[in-house]
């Protein structure tokens, strides 16, 4: 399962609302992808989820994880694929070191370091993966293999 926050969730919710209202319009996978594209395209200009890092704080295993300034979505997942076959964690850019304050306890520093070990994803390991995605154009490139998500961390709690 996964949880999308930001642009991914916004487009999915709008898709769901239209599909509930007009179920006969959604008869095939290809047709659904066309609808998804049509629903998401205005967000290329609108960018309603831009500056997500100023609107959201992300804490994983008690450590604040910085959200990249260009992120318009966060995906929290424990499955290997997303958006019909995109392997966000497996193909994502490696997670970077999470900064901690100079006065942070050794335990907090160790917890921050452990979050970015970039371990292999496992479905039954009790660990969830957290990745950042850009806007809808980035989502489109992800879906055809022309882009990569940004790994943020792996954790047990959010």
The dihedral of CA 98, 102, 108, 114: what is its sign? positive
**Alpha carbon distance 124, 140 (integer Å):** 29
What does the DSSP 8-state code read for residue 25? G
Please tell me the pTM assigned to this model. 0.88
**Alpha carbon distance 50, 54 (integer Å):** 9
> Residues near 97 by Cβ (< 8 Å), separated by ≥ 6?
112, 113, 116
Which two three-digit tokens encode residue 49?
């989820």
What's the pLDDT tens digit per position in 67-114?
999 999 999 999 988 877 889 999 999 998 898 888 889 998 899 999
């Amino acid at each position: 399962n996964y949880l999308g926050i930001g642009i991914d969730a916004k487009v999915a919710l709008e898709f769901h609302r239209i599909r509930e209202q007009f179920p006969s319009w959604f008869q095939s996978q290809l047709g659904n992808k066309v609808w998804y594209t049509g629903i998401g395209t205005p967000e290329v200009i609108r960018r309603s989820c831009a500056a997500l890092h100023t609107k959201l704080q992300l804490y994983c295993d008690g450590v604040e994880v910085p959200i990249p300034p260009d992120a318009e979505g966060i995906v929290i997942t424990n499955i290997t694929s997303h958006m019909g076959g995109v392997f966000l964690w497996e193909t994502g850019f490696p997670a970077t070191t999470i900064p901690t304050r100079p006065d942070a306890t050794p335990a907090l520093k160790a917890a921050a370091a452990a979050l970015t070990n970039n371990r292999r994803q496992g479905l039954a390991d009790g660990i969830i993966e957290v990745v950042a995605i850009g806007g809808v154009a980035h989502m489109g490139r992800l879906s055809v293999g022309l882009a990569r998500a940004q790994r943020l961390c792996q954790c047990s709690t959010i």
